[in-house]
């Protein structure tokens, strides 16, 4: 029970990494505020937690808007009286180069992926400092540290999150620890539309030869939320099965070198 009697607020918790994290945190003793723009999905996460005798409630929130973020944090504080763990995890995703990305898509991606974390921090960190501290976790991506084509807006937002992690860690230490998780290829709702063949190709790019599951990232979030990471702040964990650690040799080059 690594999070016994702790209160956690998790965004993007209607599915994927957020849902897996909410359920794992509950199993470790936390009360969980489940936030997402998808109200029905968030309610399903709450039902899953309550079926396992956990304590949770859902908040419908659009983390791309300040008024919604303020209301979300206020609801969690009103319900539980404190915040010990905040996991900023919501994401938006649009494929395209800089010249192919519309201004609306750029703005929405950065609002949900980057600006949202600043807004959540602005609202949640002061009450966390005023109590006896806590932990703030940010879901970044391997896009934060590596270049990938056709991801201009998403990659800009994820790179910004890593810089923001360091800034928040410096500003709110020693009361609050701030760390990031950088997932690799994790099968979530953002993968809708990918064929089995596409998923297989992505899997083969990874040294561990499998795509990540939301539960893999939830375990990393548990580590950062608990006292197991008590001497960590301003850091990031890469959880990508080795994806970002290697340079894959193209098959045509490998064939030529073998001949």
Query: Which residue of the set 154, 172, 231, 236 is catalytic?
Result: 154
Cα-Cα-Cα-Cα torsion 40, 45, 46, 51, nearest 10 degrees, comes to 130
Nearest in space to 74 (alpha carbons), one of 22, 131, 12, 120: 120
**The residue to which tokens 């990508």 are assigned:** 240
**207-226 per-position pLDDT tens digit:** 899 999 999 999 999 999 99
Mean pLDDT, all residues of the chain: 93
Query: Is 231 a residue of the active site?
Result: no
Dihedral of alpha carbons 219, 225, 227, 231, sign = positive
Query: Is residue 232's pLDDT more than 90?
Result: yes
The pLDDT, as a whole number, for residue 205 is: 84
Contacts of 8 (CB under 8 A, 6+ apart): 22, 25, 30, 31, 32, 33, 83, 84, 85, 86, 87, 225
The pLDDT, as a whole number, for residue 254 is: 63
**138-197 per-position pLDDT tens digit:** 999 999 999 888 899 999 999 999 999 999 999 999 999 999 999 998 988 777 777 888
Query: Is residue 95's pLDDT more than 90?
Result: no
Split at pLDDT 50, 70, 90, the class of 250 is low
Take residue 242 and report the two structure tokens written for it: 């080795």
pTM of the model: 0.92
Delineate the domains of the chain, giving CATH numbers in brackets: 7-258 (3.40.50.720)
């Amino acid at each position: 029970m690594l999070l016994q009697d702790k209160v956690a607020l998790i965004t993007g918790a209607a599915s994927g990494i957020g849902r897996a994290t909410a359920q794992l945190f509950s199993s470790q003793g936390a009360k969980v505020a489940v936030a997402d723009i998808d109200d029905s999905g968030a309610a399903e996460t709450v039902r899953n937690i309550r079926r396992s005798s956990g304590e949770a409630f859902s908040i419908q929130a659009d983390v791309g808007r300040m008024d919604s973020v303020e209301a979300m944090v206020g609801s969690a504080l009103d319900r539980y009286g404190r915040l010990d763990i905040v996991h900023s995890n919501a994401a938006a995703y649009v494929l395209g180069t800089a010249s192919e990305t519309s201004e609306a898509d750029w703005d929405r991606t950065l609002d949900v992926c980057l600006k949202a974390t600043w807004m959540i921090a602005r609202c949640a960190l002061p009450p966390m400092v005023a109590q006896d501290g806590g932990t703030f976790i940010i879901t970044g991506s391997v896009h934060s540290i590596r270049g990938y084509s056709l991801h201009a807006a998403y990659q800009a937002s994820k790179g910004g999150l890593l810089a923001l992690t360091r800034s928040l860690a410096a500003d709110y230490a020693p009361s609050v620890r701030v760390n990031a998780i950088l997932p690799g290829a994790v099968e979530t709702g953002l993968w809708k539309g990918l064929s089995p063949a596409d998923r297989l190709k992505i899997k083969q790019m990874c040294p561990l030869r499998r795509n990540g599951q939301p539960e893999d990232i939830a375990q990393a979030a548990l580590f950062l939320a608990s006292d197991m990471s008590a001497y960590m702040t301003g850091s990031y964990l890469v959880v990508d099965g080795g994806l970002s650690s290697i340079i894959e040799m193209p098959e045509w080059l490998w064939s030529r070198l073998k001949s």
